[in-house]
Amino acid sequence: MTIEEDLSRIALQEETLRFDAFDLSTAWVLGKLLHDLASERNLGVAIDITLHSMPVFYSALPGSTPDNSGWIRRKRNMVLRYFRSSYASTLHLQKQGKTIEDNGLSSADFAASGGSFPILVNGTGCIGAVTVSGLPQREDHNLVVEALALTLGHELHNLSLS
C-alpha cells in the first residue's frame, strides 16, 4: 500500500474503532486480549494502556526489552499530542518529508513510530492510548487494531493494513 492508501485506511480505523464507553474494566479486557494474542504468537512485546496520565494496564512479554517502555511513552505522547494513531502521524510526516523536530517536538519525548492508537469515545473524543512496542512499527499498529476490532466486534478484514 502507498502512504496515501495507508493514511486513508487508518482514518477509517480511527473513525470505526470507537467506544461508547471506556472504563478500567474495558482497559483490562483490551489489555488482556492484547497480552493473549501476543503470547499465543510468541511476540516479544510490551503493552500499555493509559488514560491520559493514569496507567491502567501494562504487560511485558518474554522477548521484550527495557527499551520498549521508553518507546511506549514516546509513541503514546504522539497520540496524546495529535489525537490520532502514532502510525498516521508518522506517515503524515514521511509524506511531507519532515521529522518530529521540524514540528518543534523532541525525539526524546516523541517517537515517529507506529504502535500507539487513541482510545476514542463517542461524544467525548480521545481519552488515552493503547500502545504496543517490540515489533516493526506497522506490525505494532496492526496488533493494536486487531485487538480493538475484536473488542468492539468489528470485522478485521475491513480495517487492517495489508
pLDDT tens across 52-111, in order? Answer: 889 999 999 999 999 999 999 999 999 999 999 999 999 999 999 999 999 999 999 999
Measured CA to CA, the distance from residue 143 to residue 43 in angstroms comes to: 10
Q: Where in the sequence is the domain holding 78, given as residue range(s)? A: 3-158
pTM attached to this predicted model: 0.97
The mean per-residue pLDDT over the stretch 119-144 comes to 98
- From start to end of the chain, where are the E strands? 18-19, 46-51, 54-60, 116-121, 125-133
Contact, 30 vs 43, CB < 8 A?
Answer: no
Number of domains in the chain: 1
The answer to whether the beta carbons of residues 96 and 108 sit under 8 Å apart is no
Q: What is the CATH number of the domain that holds 143?
A: 3.30.450.150
What is the DSSP secondary structure assignment for residue 133, as one 8-state letter?
E
Q: What is the mean pLDDT of residues 30-44?
A: 98
pLDDT at position 1 over 90 = no
